[in-house]
């Protein structure tokens, strides 16, 4: 215990109990001796206490005059936070902390709002970095618009160079149909092209790419994947889920230098958004690069890395075991991601009944229950947390069944099994999350992105189990909040807004899309802070503003807990702090020391 702890102990009932060392020391003495001893003891305690509180402790930074939402139930709102050695050492009011601590720096936040550092519980760092260096197709409203961007990029390239882009969404187009290779062949016939759909579960390619990959009418659909074909059976240029690998296997791989550049570009974008940690559903090639960045103090945010089983080398990483709290908690490798189905937007999500807008199609399952159970058992035995992608109601049922069977055979333990997305649920499966201790990792922004077409996919009854946050929360489970960037908007404030409004930026629909499923503001904040930290076994060290935890803090221009909902979208991140280091200031264009 430090000196403050000793003062608290001396003043506690335990110290004065009949079993305490003090009582044993004085019980055999005379009345006068006891009186003198107690007087001496009280004088000693008072002197010691005076010494402690009149000799300030050290702090590196004190943030003052703020509106601080701590998520600590014992002191939910304070106005000042003291930081030393990367940890929180004091919370309270400004005057007390300035008196209690001798600090090198005081940052007056002038009434701005501080919350625990935002955590994105499901994202793709390298994907974001790649997107920011490629053709960005997010929001493009027609295939003609995509083709125009491809044509412009081709002008700057030599014949044979690959063109990469991401973010197209046919649901935004007038026809809402999958495009064909003809659009891309006309735009850049001499360059192979690969364009990722916004959900990452489908690609659109041209004839040159298919030629390099030796794709023809005779090419069979791989298990867990689909090649979209025309009426004559020829591939149209759309490859869904596991079929993507037919093209991706001939796409030039990134060099380590390119991966590092992508990760750094993404990390710098993250701190601008107030993110202090990302659960990166990533690539085995990124692990050593992350460690090197952490070693050289070049990683501005914490990374909770999840091994993607779609990448080479993932089994080797499992065999090597977890890496926890590397470089003062900047990097952890502790989870592995499995895939049960595809995505709703590309009609690859596995449903019990056929798609309402695509008769005969029930989606794709990429693993069986038995194969998932076997794989998850191996992961747990190696010390890794299983995170399984499941979007459709059938996929979620398979995963829950596999988890349940596995849990019955394992010793009791704190496994924190996760389902990533948990997007469409059968009503009977909703209470099973809490019953089994399975954590739903969900992305509120998906609901407001998908609401324009989700009911067309699912029909009026099945859609009631989609994005069912309130139904899950009422079972006493928690929700890990994320964005799935770059598959959707990465800004945590937009996700927070979606969670509490279930509406788009214009305020449509007025009561929210299936508004009874909204989160409260406190729930929405916890989902991207404390609950996300719990989802990574990190709640003892982060996720709330409490003494002893990492000083991971996000400072905002407005009070998102009280302002009108749409004002949240106009709120700026003023500052991002990771481990007591200010890594972003709104006015700056680079990191500050």
Query: Is 46 among the domain residues?
Result: yes
Does 216 share its domain with 102? Answer: no
What's the CATH code of the domain at 17?
Answer: 2.30.40.10
Of 90, 116, 142, the residue at which a domain comes to its end is 116
Q: Does the residue 93 lie in any domain?
A: yes
Residues 142 and 58 in one domain: no
Residue 351 lies in a domain: no
The pLDDT value given to residue 32:
65
- Is residue 93 domain-shared with residue 130, that is, in the same domain? no
The string over 32-58, giving b where at least 16 C-beta atoms fall within 10 Å of a residue's C-beta and e elsewhere, is eeeeeeeeeeeeeeeeebeebeeeebe
- Tell me, yes or no, whether 151 and 71 share the same domain: no
Structural element, H or E, at residue 3: helix 3-10
Same domain, 178 and 97: no
In a domain, residue 368? The reply is no
Residue 589 φ/ψ, nearest 5 degrees? -110, 0
Strands 80-84, 77-78: parallel, antiparallel or unpaired by DSSP?
Answer: unpaired
In a domain, 473, yes or no: no
The domain in which residue 243 lies consists of 125-248
**Does 85 share its domain with 140?**
no
Three-class DSSP labels, 292-322: HHHHCCCCCCEEEEEEECCCCCHHHHHHHCC
pLDDT, block means (10 residues), the chain with 593 residues: 39 41 50 65 60 74 98 97 98 97 96 98 94 90 96 94 92 91 95 91 94 95 93 95 93 92 97 98 86 96 93 88 97 96 94 96 96 96 97 98 97 96 98 98 96 96 97 98 91 98 96 97 98 98 98 98 98 98 79 39
8 and 34 both lie in a single domain = yes
pLDDT of residue 27: 53
Pick left, alpha or beta for residue 378 (phi over 0 → left; psi -120 to 50 → alpha; otherwise beta): alpha
pLDDT at 464: 96
Instruction: Provide the number of structural domains found in the chain.
Output: 2
The whole-number pLDDT of residue 96 equals 96
Q: Which of 201, 218, 248 finishes a domain?
A: 248
Please give the model's pTM, rounded to 2 decimal places.
Answer: 0.85
Give the C-alpha separation, 67 to 454, whole Å: 39
**Alpha carbon of 160 to those of 101, 105, 189, 212, 255: distances in Å?**
63, 56, 9, 10, 19
Q: What is the DSSP string of 516-573?
A: GGPPPHHHHHHHTTHHHHHTTT-TTTSSS--TTSB--EEEESS-TTTS-GGGGGGPPE
Query: Sign of dihedral through CA atoms 369, 348, 442, 260?
Result: positive
Query: What is the DSSP track for 419-458?
Result: EEE--B--GGGTTHHHHHTPEEEE-HHHHHHHTTTHHHHH
Q: Are residues 243 and 131 in the same domain?
A: yes
154 domain residue, yes or no: yes
Give me the CATH number covering residue 182.
3.10.310.70
Are residues 81 and 21 both part of a single domain?
A: yes
Q: In what helix (H) or strand (E) does residue 119 lie, and over which residues does it extend? A: strand 118-123
User: Is the N-terminal amide bond of 509 cis, ω within 30° of 0?
Assistant: yes
Task: Please give the sequence-ordered ranges of beta strands (E in DSSP) within 12-117, or none if there are none.
Answer: 57-64, 67-69, 77-78, 80-84, 87-92, 101-108, 113-116
Using only C-alpha atoms, the chain has a radius of gyration, in whole angstroms, of 27
Helix residue ranges, H only, 55-197: 94-100, 125-131, 143-154, 181-187
- The residues that bridge with 576 in the sheet, in sequence order, are 554, 584
pLDDT computed for residue 587 by the predictor: 79
Interatomic CA distance for residues 348 and 341, integer angstroms: 6
Distance, C-alpha 261 to centroid of its chain = 21
- Please indicate, yes or no, if residue 521 is contained in any of the structural domains: no
- Please tell me the distance from the alpha carbon of residue 440 to that of residue 282, in angstroms, as a whole number: 19
pLDDT given at position 35: 66
Residue 413 to residues 123, 320, 373, Cα–Cα distance (Å): 27, 22, 17
* pLDDT at res. 577: 98
Choose one of 93, 116, 139: the last residue of a domain. Answer: 116
Provide the pLDDT for residue 283: 73
C-alpha to C-alpha distance for 117 and 423, rounded to whole angstroms: 26
Q: Is residue 257 in a domain?
A: no
Q: Is the same domain home to 192 and 96?
A: no
Torsion of CA 538, 279, 62, 491, to 10 degrees: -140
Q: Which two tokens stand for residue 345?
A: 């937007």
Which tokens is 60 given? 């590196």
In the 8-state DSSP scheme, what is residue 463?
G
Mark whether 129 and 237 lie in a shared domain.
yes
Based on the domain organization, do 129 and 236 belong to the same domain?
yes
Using CA atoms, how far apart are residues 384 and 377, in angstroms rounded to an integer? 10
């Amino acid at each position: 215990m430090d000196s403050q702890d000793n003062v608290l102990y001396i003043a506690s009932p335990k110290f004065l109990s009949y079993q305490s060392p003090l009582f044993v020391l004085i019980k055999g003495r005379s009345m006068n001796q006891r009186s003198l001893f107690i007087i001496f003891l009280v004088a000693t305690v008072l002197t010691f206490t005076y010494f402690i509180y009149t000799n300030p402790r050290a702090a590196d930074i004190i943030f003052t005059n703020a509106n601080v939402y701590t998520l600590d139930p014992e002191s939910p709102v304070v106005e000042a936070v003291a930081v030393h050695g990367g940890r929180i050492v004091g919370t309270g009011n400004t005057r007390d902390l300035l008196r209690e601590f001798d600090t090198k720096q005081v940052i007056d936040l002038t009434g701005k709002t501080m919350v625990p550092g935002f955590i994105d519980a499901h994202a793709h760092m390298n994907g974001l970095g790649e997107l920011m260096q490629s053709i960005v197709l997010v929001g493009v409203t027609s295939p003609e618009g995509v083709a125009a961007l491809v044509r412009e990029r081709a002008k700057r390239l030599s014949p044979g160079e690959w063109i990469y882009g991401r973010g197209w969404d046919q649901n935004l187009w007038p026809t809402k149909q999958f495009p064909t290779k003809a659009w891309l062949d006309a735009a850049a016939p001499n360059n192979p092209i690969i364009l990722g759909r916004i959900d990452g579960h489908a690609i659109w390619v041209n004839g040159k790419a298919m030629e390099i990959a030796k794709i023809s009418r005779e090419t069979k659909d791989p298990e867990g994947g689909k090649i979209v074909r025309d009426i004559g059976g020829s591939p149209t240029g759309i490859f869904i889920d596991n079929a993507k690998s037919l093209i991706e296997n001939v796409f030039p791989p990134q060099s380590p230098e390119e991966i590092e550049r992508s990760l750094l570009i993404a990390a710098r974008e993250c701190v601008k958004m107030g993110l202090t940690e990302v659960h990166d559903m990533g690539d085995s090639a990124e692990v050593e690069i992350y460690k090197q960045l952490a070693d050289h103090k070049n990683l501005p945010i914490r990374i909770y890395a999840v091994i993607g089983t779609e990448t080479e080398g993932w089994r080797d990483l499992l065999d090597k075991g977890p890496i926890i709290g590397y470089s003062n908690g900047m990097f952890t490798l502790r989870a592995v991601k499995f895939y049960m189905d595809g995505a709703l937007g590309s009609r690859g999500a596995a449903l019990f009944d056929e798609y309402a807008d695509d008769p005969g199609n029930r989606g794709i399952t990429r693993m069986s229950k038995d194969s998932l159970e076997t794989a998850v058992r191996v992961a747990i035995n190696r010390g890794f947390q299983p995170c399984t992608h499941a979007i459709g109601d059938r996929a979620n049922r398979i995963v829950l069944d596999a988890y349940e069977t596995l849990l019955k055979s394992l010793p009791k333990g704190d496994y924190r099994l996760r389902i990533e997305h948990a997007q469409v649920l059968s009503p009977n499966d909703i209470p099973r999350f809490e019953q089994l201790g399975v954590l739903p990792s969900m992305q509120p922004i998906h609901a407001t992105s998908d609401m324009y077409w989700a009911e067309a996919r699912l029909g009026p009854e099945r859609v009631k189990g989609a994005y069912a946050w309130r139904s899950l929360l009422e079972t006493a489970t928690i929700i890990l909040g994320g964005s799935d960037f770059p598959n959707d908007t990465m800004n945590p404030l937009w996700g927070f807004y979606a969670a509490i409004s279930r509406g788009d930026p214009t305020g449509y629909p007025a009561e929210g899309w299936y508004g009874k499923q909204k989160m409260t503001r406190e729930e929405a904040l916890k989902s991207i802070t404390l609950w996300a930290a719990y989802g990574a076994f990190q709640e003892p060290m982060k996720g709330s503003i409490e003494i002893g935890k990492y000083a991971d803090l996000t400072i905002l221009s407005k009070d998102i807990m009280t302002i009108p909902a749409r004002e949240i979208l106009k709120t700026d991140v003023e500052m991002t702090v990771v481990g007591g280091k200010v890594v972003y200031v709104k006015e700056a264009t680079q990191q500050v020391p």
